[in-house]
Amino acid sequence: MARRPLPRILSTGSAQIARGRDLARTAADSATDVLHPLITMSRGLRRLAAAGRRKWADTPKDRRGPLLFLVASVVLVVALVPYGPLLAVITLMSAAAWHGRDRTPPAPAGPDEAQTKRLESLYEALVPYFSVPEDPAPLYAHGGEWEKAFPSYEFDDSGRVCHLSIHYPAYFTDGEPDARARIEQLLHAKSGRGREYRFEWDEEGNLLTVTVLPPLPTDVAAQRFVTAPGEIVLGLTDPAGVPRTLPLTFGEERRDVPPVVWRTGTRSTEPHLLVVGDPGSGTTTLLRSVVLQALQHGDVLIVEGGGTGEFACLGGRDGVLAVECGPAGALAGLEWAANETERRLIAANRARQAGHAPPEDTRRPLWIVLDRPTVLGHLSAAEGRVDPQSLLQVPLRHGRAAGVTVVVAEQFDALDSLSDAVRDHTRARVVLGPASTDRLEAVLGSPPRTTPAPDVPPGRGYARLGSGPVHRLQVPATPDPYDEATSETHRQAVLSLLPPHTAPTDAAPAAEPVPDPGDGAASGMASGGPVAAPVAVTAEG
C-alpha cells in the first residue's frame, strides 16, 4: 500500500518535535529525582492531616473539650522544653516521611511456580526443533536452562503467555516457510488456543517474538470516513500494520483507529478487488460498505447473482445506474460497461492527441460491483447465453486508465469457477470468515503473519493489497436496512448514508405501458453512451 507524503510542516518539524519531547521528558525525570524527598514528605503530611481529621470526626462531642485541653498542654510543654520545637519538627518530618513512602508492592523478580512450569514446557517442546547432535554447546537441550533461550516474557491475568522472545540457533532454517510453520503451530498449541498470535522473525538476530493480539473492535457501524476521493476503507486493523489512523464513532465515543485503505483510480496499483468467504462471513456487507463510499464521488452498477435482494435499498438512488438480479439484465449491464470503458478510452485518447484535458464524463469514476457472478454464469449457460464474466475482460484490463473499478465477491466453493481475467486482474484481495492457512495463502498469495482464529465474528478476516503485507481486517457493520433482523442502530446508520432517490426527469403518461424488466431497463446502457439517469431495479424469475 503506497504511502502519501506527509505535509511539509510535519516532515520538516518532526525531528524538532521529537527532540523537544526528549528534552521535556529528561527535565521531568530530573525534577522528579531532585524533588522526591519533598514529594514524599508532602504526601505524608497530607496523610497525617487526613488521619487527624478522621480522629476528630470519630471523637464524641462531649470528649472534644478534654482532647483540646490535652493537645494544648502538650504544645505548651514542648514549647517550654529546651530544643523542644526543633525536636517536634524533626519528629513530625520523620513521621511524614514514614507515612509518605511508596507503599506499592514491588513487582515479582521472576515468574511464579505456575509461570515457570509454562516456560519450561515451551522450552522442552522446542528442543527437538532447535537442537542437533553435532552442536557442542546446544542452547536447547532436555533439562537445560530456559532463561538463556527466553530473554523476555510477559503473562496476562489468566497466567498464559502474552509476549515471548525466543533465541534460536543460527543453524535453524528460518528462511524456509515449512520450518517456520512448524514452530508457529507448536507455539500456538502450547501457549493456548483460542487467541491470535503474531510471529515476527528476526533472521539477522536469530530472534523470534511472539505477541498475543487483542481482538479487533466489532462495534463499528457504517459511517462517513475521513478519506480522499478514490480511497475506500475496507475495515479496521492493528495499529502496527498501517501508518495512519481515522477518527471513528463508537456510539457516543470517538476514537482514532487504524484502517485498511484501498486506493483506486488511475494511479492505483491495485485497481480491482476480489472478496472471498463462506456464507455468512460478511462478503455482501463489505460490498455494501464499498458501494456506499463509492457513491460519494462516482456511479455504481450492481450485479447481484444470489438473487436475495441484498442491494434493494440502493435501487433508484442517485449514482446507482442499475441493480441487476437476472442473467439478461446482467449481460446487458456488463455489455454496456464494456462499451463505456472503450468509449472513455477513445475519448481520453482523442483529447490527449488534441492537447486538451479528458472530457468531464470520462473522469467520473464508474464502479462495477458483482456479488456471486458464478451463479449468473450457471443460469446463463442453462439458457444458452454467454457467461457474464466474459464481458469483464475489457473493464478489468483497461479499467484503471478509463476510471472503471471492478469489485467481485464470491464464495470458496465457487472460486474455481471464476474466470482467468477476474483472478489475474484483481490484485487487491480480501478473505472473510474462518479459513485455514492454506486457503488464505491460495487467495492472498502469502500466508498471514498471525494465526487464524477458529471462531470469528461476521466481517472478520484478512486483506492484502497487491504485494503488500497481509493485514487483519474487521469490516464495519453495514447490514441490509430492509432486513428485519437488523438492529435499529445499524439500520439508521445505513439509511443515513444512502443517497436520495432520483427525481424523474419527465412524468410518464398514465396509459403508457410498463417496459419489460431486464430488457428495457438495460437498453439505454447497451447503446454505448453514458447513462443520464439511474435504471430501476430489475429481476427475472
Binding-site annotation: residue ranges for ATP:
277-284
- DSSP code, position 501: B
- DSSP code, position 6: P
What's the first-to-final CA gap in the chain, in angstroms?
43
Q: How far apart are alpha carbons 150 and 172 in whole angstroms?
A: 16
Q: How far apart are alpha carbons 257 and 255 in whole angstroms?
A: 6
Return the C-alpha cell found at 249. 464513532
Paired sense of beta strands 428-432 and 273-277, if any: parallel
Q: How far apart are alpha carbons 220 and 478 in whole angstroms?
A: 9
Q: Is 36 exposed, middle or buried (0-12, 13-18, 19+ CB in 10 A)?
A: exposed
Half-sphere exposure of residue 453: CA atoms within 13 angstroms, side-chain side: 22
- Kindly list the distances between the CA atom of residue 85 and the CA atoms of 37, 67, 88, 90, 98, in Å, as whole numbers in the listed order: 22, 21, 5, 9, 20
Q: Annotated binding residues, as ranges?
A: 277-284
Q: Report the Cα 289 to chain-centroid distance in Å.
A: 14
372: left (phi over 0), alpha (psi -120 to 50) or beta: left
The three-class DSSP label of residue 370 is: strand
Q: Are 431 and 277 in contact (CB under 8 A)?
A: yes
Point out which residues pair with 250 in neighbouring strands: 253
Q: Are 521 and 499 in contact (CB under 8 A)?
A: no
> Within 10 Å of residue 491's Cβ, how many Cβ atoms?
18
Q: How far apart are alpha carbons 291 and 275 in whole angstroms?
A: 14
Q: Report the Cα 400 to chain-centroid distance in Å.
A: 26
Q: b or e along 446-475 (b: 16 or more beta carbons within 10 Å of the residue's beta carbon)?
A: ebbbbbbbeebebbbbbbbbeebebbbbbb
What single letter denotes the amino acid at residue 5? Answer: P
Question: In sequence order, what are the residues at sequence separation of 6 or more whose Cβ sits closer than 8 angstroms to the Cβ of residue 393?
Answer: 338, 421
Q: Are 406 and 395 in contact (CB under 8 A)?
A: yes
